[in-house]
Amino acid sequence: MKSTEVTSCCEIVELGLESLNELRALEQTCFDYSWSEEQFRLGLERRAFYIFGYVLEGLLVGYLAYSRVLDEMEVLNLGVHPDFRRKGIARELMQALIKQSKETEVRKGLLDVKRSNFPAIALYESLGFRQVGVRKKYYPDTKEDALLYDLEI
C-alpha cells in the first residue's frame, strides 16, 4: 500500500493487487451486487481504475474506486463497512480524491447513484456535485434509475 495521507490512527492509502482479498470482503459487506475478484484484478492490472482505501488501526474499513481519463475523473464505487458508517470516512475519501484531482489538473468529476440511495446523494451534494441527468432503469440488479452527477473542480 502506498500512503498518501497519515494521521495517528488511520490513513488513506492507494490499494493494489495485494489488497484484493480485503477489498472483496469489504465490497461484499457494502453491496448486494458486488464486483468479482476478476473485475477488481483486471481493473487494477490494466489501470482502468484506482482505489483509495481507508485503513483504521490496520483494518480496511472503506474504499473508493475511481477512473481518470484526461482531465475527467469518475467515482465508480464507494463503500464503508456498516460498523464504521456516519464517522466521516466516506467524506474523507471523497475529499482525498478531490484534493488529488486539483493537484493533477483534473477539471471535472462524474458519478452515478441509485435514485433511492439517500445517504450517498446527501454526501455527494454536500461536496458540490450537482445532478445533470437521469438514466432510466440503469442498474442491472434492481432496474432502478441512475441519477447522473457532475462536479466542476
Among 6, 42, 59, 122, binds ligand COA (CB under 6 A): 122
Residue closer to ligand COA (CB basis): 45 or 133: 133
> Could you tell me which stretch among 13-21, 35-43, 88-96, 137-145 binds ligand COA (CB under 6 A)?
88-96
Helix (H, G, I), strand (E, B) or coil at 37: helix
Residue closer to ligand COA (CB basis): 15 or 120: 120
Indicate whether 88 belongs to the interface with ligand COA (CB under 6 A): yes
Among 79, 96, 106, 109, binds ligand COA (CB under 6 A): 79
Return the number of other C-beta atoms located less than 10 Å from residue 75's C-beta.
22
Indicate whether 86 belongs to the interface with ligand COA (CB under 6 A): yes
| Residue 71 CA from chain centroid, whole number | 18
Q: Which three cell numbers, joined as nine digits, stand for 70? A: 484526461
Q: What's the rounded Cα separation, in Å, for the pair 37 and 24?
A: 7
E strand or H helix that includes residue 44: helix 37-45
Indicate whether 60 belongs to the interface with ligand COA (CB under 6 A): no
Q: Which three cell numbers, joined as nine digits, stand for 9? A: 490512527
